[in-house]
Amino acid sequence: MGVVLTRCAQWTAAAAAGHGTGTLEITPLNEAMLKEISRFVESFIYKHPQEAKYVFVEPLEWKTNLDPSAFESGYVVSATTVKSEEVDKDGQPLLFFSVPQIKIRSFGQLSCLLFIAKDTKLKETQACIEANRNPVANILGMNYNTKKGDSSVLNILDKITKDDDPESEIKMKIAILLEELDLHLLNYSLKHPLLEIHLNSVTVKKDIELLKRFSGKGEQTVLESIEYTSDYEFSNGCRAPPWRQLHGEICYVLVKPHDVETLCITCSAEGVFLNGGKTDDEEEINYERKGAIYKDLVTFLKEKSAKFSENMSKHTRFNEEQQKVKEQPKKAPKKEEADALHKHITSSNRSKLEKNQINLGKNQMTKRLEPSLNWKTTVDVKGHRTSVRDTQDEKHGGRPEKSTSSVSSGRAQLAHKNADKIEEILSESSSESEEDEEPPDHRQEANADLPSEYWQIQKLVKYLKGGNQTATVIALCSMRDFNLAQETCQLAIRDVGGLEVLINLLDTDEVKCKIGSLKILKEISQNPQIRRNIVDLGGLPVMVNILDSPHKMLKCLAAETIANVAKFRRARQAVRHHGGITKLVALLDCTQNSTEPAQSSLYDERDVEVARCGALALWSCSKSYANKEAIRKAGGIPLLAQLLKTSHENMLIPVVGTLQECASEESYRAAIKAERIIENLVKNLNSENEQLQEHCAMAIYQCAEDEETRDLVRLHGGLKPLASLLNNTDNKERLAAVTGAIWKCSISKENVTKFREYKAIETLVGLLTDQPEEVLVNVVGALGECCQDHENRVIVRKCGGIQPLVNLLVGINQALLVNVTKAVGACAVEPESMTIIDRLDGVRLLWSLLKNPHPDVKASAAWALCPCIQNAKDAGEMVRSFVGGLELVVNLLKSDNKEVLASVCAAITNIAKDQENLAVITDHGVVPLLSKLANTNNDKLRHHLAEAISHCCMWGRNKVAFGEHKAVAPLVRYLKSNDTNVHRATAQALYQLSEDADNCITMHENGAVKLLLDMVGSPDQDLQEAAAGCISNIRRLALATEKARYT
């Protein structure tokens, strides 16, 4: 933290020079850093509870504006002093406040103070830092003085290991945490620029001259006067002294507005701000900034003077002139600016710059006059549309604004990430007929500030175009010496026509030229724009043809380049259309066998490398359904299974990655079982390579949808390594894959028993907080499956898992909500857990999820409500307490989703057990809505619908109403189902309905008696009784009818 405060924080001039204590300047960067420090300290007490108790070597002391009355429990408070009840081993309080001075000696008390400070916590943080310029020395001692610049983790560890202090371990932890904060703040400061540099001496001079023209004594003038503090102008247009020009300052002006005192203003490259004014003897200026930075002089004066702002709005001519001044530099650089620039450039650099500008002009001219023939002949229809669109963009000036190389590099990295995200989303699409949404083409401007590498690469491309074989090979080797991972170099090759040349070289017979070209294409194809250009120029068919080459290095390079290019849909499609999948699968036929002794010749190693590159390309291509099918038909699965038996980790990663992608298809899962791939996936879970572990776990996650696969994972000992990997939480991608595999494996009860033995359930509960959503979805899914067993429900409750589960009910992630409702519902089966859920308002949260627009969330919430209503102490009263809750449930019977309907019917079954609630839902029209659902063939819905009808018959004339709404005849047909649960629920419903004479007649007419007679002999006692009772009611009605006829 000391390094940041010294190097990055912006202090007032006195502090920066080392005179006096000084204060932090009011800048956006300082404010942002204060917020980060405040956030770190505030969360310290619950993120690091042990370290929060550590007592500082020296207290942090500063003046505070807090009032003693703000301190409450945990403190001894008097009129002017406050002492913390928490004390050190000598009995001294860890917080002592004697108005206005405060002393604090632990992170725990610092955290508490920020909680107490509330809205003023940033001011307290600032005051603390200003008073304690080297806080690390106060906290850990002078040996850890980070201002000396020796704050690396290794140095800190070295000091602590040599220290005899018994608290050395906790000191080490705090030192590392402070070091991490330091690095975070340093990175943050780099990503948080204050203001873009947009002012120069020419712009400032024109602004001042313009203001002078509209200044004077009259009421309508914008200012009374504006003057420079110095008459001397340097050759570069600046009037600030040379030592101040080093700080980016241009000049100083004295401005007298009509309504405020004279202002002394600094104009700098960063912007315009108020300085300390002239000293008493009026010879020196106090250069220290006294306020915020503004983008230009006019904006500054509008903020400081209301009269200036008012008069400015009236002067339309001034505004027109100002607009001209702003636009003029964009058209062409002025003579003064050019002169200033030439004075700073040596004669050699100037000649080089002039040559480069001439070359660039020629290239631009050549591009416009001579379009590439290769582009015209090889581009397909879609590519043609793309090129036309690009041409239209050029005509309309659709190019990004120029920027410096450093800024463009940062933007390029952001663009890479966004483009990769777009590609990943598009690759998941089931259809490949639609054209990808491609990012706008990004080309360098002629007047952009380009590095020397750009021009050097341009010269090399010329040699490639016109040189003989030897010159071409030398040019290719020289091009590889550049940093081809840098976007400027990548785009330089493309912008000067290098891509066309490199792709054309692949059609030659010279192996060296092909190798050199492919090595460059492999590097630059990491760029999403270059990938698309390669496809547009017809590069993929040429690379696919090279896969047949007898030269193994060529095969490897071609396959690796295809792997980079095939990251978007159109490229994957092109690979398949040109027969690339079959050729890539053929590369997997490696002679290397893991059972042979490790005596690999050079030939064997090359074969392994060929297979690895083939697998890498197939991994990229396998994100498309059509390509997955092509890989399977080409015989890829047996070859992948064979490669999975090798010990080469660098080959195993793409092999497992391909299998993981393909395992989403059922046909692949069946083949994976047949080829005994699960055994090798489980074996590689024990690898030391985290990426390999991740992909193996992900493949198991995909395959474990099948019960037989889940059993195979258990039989091959895969559950124990999965459970042990839960303890490594640093790698979130791997953690997501591992928790996903555990979730799917937990669907089998035998696996749940094993996970309980391996203490995985306790670990899963610990992962319910502070994890990304992709991990939480899987963790909660696994707990939902595990909590189907009573023992596991007890473990979750005892480990404190109920509260974090209930807390997750307020999220918006649909997959997470589906899983968490299932888990909460499973826990609610246990009365003790249900009490906790009720106390945490979990039932209300579940009920509110019935309004969720996603049908899966509605259904899962309704299923979870069933055990909640069953096990709540006063269920009827609890249900009635939810305003509009019963009406909401009844209205869900209008849904079209079968799962929603089944779950709501199950919920109504439980709600109807309370007579008052049954009366309410009857008033809301539950009978006609249930009756409408009776004509269904879905056995799950039939089961719960019949149960709901059975329980709803218990109120008033509902039995008669069901008959009137034609619900009886469809129910009789349910007895022909093959599901015993449907039989039982239907028989119980018919028994209740048979108490109405008209319903008995309907049952008899629809053949219910014969079907019920068969069920009287069922081993299910409830079914027996219901069937017998129903037949009894029908028989009584028949006897009564006969008796009435004869009497």
Torsion of CA 525, 529, 534, 537, to 10 degrees: -160
Strands (E), 195-321: 225-228, 249-256, 263-268, 271-274, 277-278, 285-286
Query: What is the model's pLDDT at position 325?
Result: 54
In Å, how far from its chain's centre is CA 694? 18
Quick one: angle between helices 452-466 and 498-505, nearest 10?
Answer: 40
HSE, side-chain direction, 13 A CA sphere, residue 262: 11
Question: What is the number of other CB atoms lying within 10 angstroms of the CB of residue 597?
Answer: 5
> Which of 810, 808, 813, 893 is CA-nearest to residue 859?
893
Counting runs of H as helices and runs of E as strands, what totals does the chain give?
Answer: 59, 11
> Which of 667, 670, 671, 645 is CA-nearest to residue 656?
645
813-831 burial, b if ≥16 CB within 10 A, otherwise e?
A: ebbbbbbbbbbbbbbbbbe
374-385 burial, b if ≥16 CB within 10 A, otherwise e?
A: bbeebbeeebee
CB 134 within 8 Å of CB 147? yes
Query: What is the model's pLDDT at position 435?
Result: 38
Strands (E), 257-393: 263-268, 271-274, 277-278, 285-286
Could you give the CA distance from residue 837 to residue 801 in angstroms, rounded to a whole number? 11
| CA angle centred on 428, ends 425 and 433, rounded to 5° | 100
> Which of 504, 568, 577 is CA-nearest to residue 530?
568
HSE, side-chain direction, 13 A CA sphere, residue 181: 23
User: Which tokens sit at 983?
Assistant: 């039989």
Q: Which portions of the chain are predicted below pLDDT 70?
A: 1-22, 26-28, 143-166, 188-198, 280-283, 316-450, 467, 591-604, 1042-1047
In Å, how far from its chain's centre is CA 875? 41
User: Which tokens sit at 293?
Assistant: 């930075």
> Which of 185, 555, 584, 529 is CA-nearest to residue 386?
529
HSE, side-chain direction, 13 A CA sphere, residue 802: 24
Could you give the CA distance from residue 64 to residue 380 in angstroms, rounded to a whole number? 71
Integer CA distances (angstroms), 1004 to 467, 523, 932, 994, 1045, in order: 98, 80, 21, 10, 19
Could you give the CA distance from residue 491 to residue 470 in angstroms, rounded to a whole number? 25
| Tens digit of each residue's pLDDT (9 = 90 or more) over 879-907 | 888 888 889 999 999 989 999 999 999 99
Q: Which of the 8 DSSP states describes residue 103?
A: E
Could you give the CA distance from residue 802 to residue 827 in angstroms, rounded to a whole number? 8
SS (H, E, C) 400-415: CCCCCHHHHHHHHHHH
Question: What is the number of other CB atoms lying within 10 angstroms of the CB of residue 643?
Answer: 27
Could you give the CA distance from residue 871 to residue 732 in angstroms, rounded to a whole number? 37
Q: Which of the 8 DSSP states describes residue 87?
A: B
Query: What is the model's pLDDT at position 329?
Result: 45
> Which of 297, 168, 120 is CA-nearest to residue 223?
297
Which amino acid does the sequence have at 383? G
**Looking up tokens 């004697």, which residue turns up?**
98
Helices (H), 912-1020: 915-923, 926-932, 939-952, 958-964, 968-974, 980-993, 997-1005, 1008-1016
Helices (H), 912-957: 915-923, 926-932, 939-952
Integer CA distances (angstroms), 629 to 624, 897, 1042, in order: 9, 32, 70
Handedness of CA 601, 607, 610, 611 (dihedral sign): negative
φ/ψ of 679, rounded to 5, equals -55, -45
| CA angle centred on 283, ends 280 and 286, rounded to 5° | 70
| CA angle centred on 371, ends 369 and 376, rounded to 5° | 155
Could you give the CA distance from residue 182 to residue 146 in angstroms, rounded to a whole number? 10
Could you give the CA distance from residue 638 to residue 676 in angstroms, rounded to a whole number? 10
Bond into 831 cis (ω within 30): no
Give 117-144 as a DSSP string: HGGGHHHHHHHHHHH-S-HHHHHH-GGG
Could you give the CA distance from residue 533 to residue 542 in angstroms, rounded to a whole number? 14
HSE, side-chain direction, 13 A CA sphere, residue 153: 9
> Which of 523, 447, 439, 511 is CA-nearest to residue 479?
523
In Å, how far from its chain's centre is CA 493? 33
